[in-house]
Amino acid sequence: MDVLIYGGGAVGLGLASCLLASRVRVGIVARPATVDALRSGGLTREGLFGAFRAPPQALEAFATLDEGPDRSYDFVLVCTKSYDSQTAAQDLAGCRGLGEQVRLVLCQNGWGNAERFMPFFRRDRLYHARIITGFTRPRPNAVTITVHADAIHMGSLFGSSVEALRPLCEAISSGGIPCETTETIGRDLWAKMLYNCALNGLGAILDVPYGRLAEADSSRRIMDAVIDEVYAVMQAAGYGTHWADAAAFKRVFYERLVPDTAGHRSSTLQDIQARKRTEIDALNGAVLDLAGQHGLRVPFNEAIWNLVKFIESSYRP
């Protein structure tokens, strides 16, 4: 099996480490500094699920698709930030080496990424992954798994068979992180939206890990309101998740999901600390957009979106 990792950030390197541990042939498209580090030092993984190191000769790393080998891949795992979806879709669509049967798995945060790929790829080639494992990247060629709430889920929003994904999921699982197919990936993605919209932006604004947000009544009231708004928008737009109402989700959220990831500092906070653009547009921003389409007001999501945008504006021209 040949797998291309498009995006060599923390998530991309984490998934690559699992595939390499399962002896899958892996190519990684990443920024030049990451490519240089991978070519010289290989890939290292630490943290949950144990340590692993792949030597430089075990993988292929390149800064552009044009530098890659002249062969087709079975899967492309898109691990870019959500705001790079349009660029990634155009770049991958222009790559002749992917082949007609390659399947793309979007391993990104937020809602709306598929719409960026649909003009370029048939729906039956597009899949999604729901990942609620926490990764950090202490060095350009190293990844640390910090928290893990549930198995990676992979499936189709468009009714395509998930059988083709089974070898990929089995390889990731045997390489360290549990991974399985699902027929309800849409419900999984909205469950993650509820989780991320409540935690990511607020944790970044207050500069605290997830567990701290659940300790105080003041922050819990904000998260409760965010969840209520996301539920209303999700249902107005015709989507659903695994819990019938917001109250049922909150019980699982506070009793299991937050405790399991209490020490994690959100990717939004990590981006702000690195003075990078955040993915808030695909999280609370996506809720705000959908709310506008359906005549709803979401003041708590809007406030979080605006506050993160304000923080971004302090270091982004």
- Chain-centroid distance of CA 295 in Å reads 28
8 Å CB contact between 29 and 101: no
Whole-angstrom Cα distance, residue 163 to residue 253?
30
Dihedral Cα 17, 160, 196, 264, nearest 10 deg:
-20
Q: Give residue 68's pLDDT.
A: 84
DSSP annotation of 62: E
Strand, coil or helix: 255: helix
pLDDT digits (tens, 9 = 90+) for 100-122: 789 999 999 999 999 999 999 99
The structural domains of the chain, with segments of one domain joined by +, span 2-183, 187-313
8 Å CB contact between 287 and 230: yes
Catalytic residue from among 192, 250, 276, 309? 192
Its pTM stands at 0.93
8 Å CB contact between 120 and 95: no
Asked if 192 is an active-site residue, the reply is: yes
Under CATH, to which class is 187-313 assigned?
mainly alpha
Q: Give residue 317's pLDDT.
A: 64
Reference 168, options 108, 115, 128, 141; nearest CA is: 128
Strand, coil or helix: 138: strand
8 Å CB contact between 227 and 194: yes
Could you tell me which CATH number the domain at 2-183 has?
3.40.50.720
Strand, coil or helix: 52: strand
Instruction: Examine domains 2-183 and 187-313 and report if their fold is the same.
Output: no
Span 32-57, average pLDDT? 97
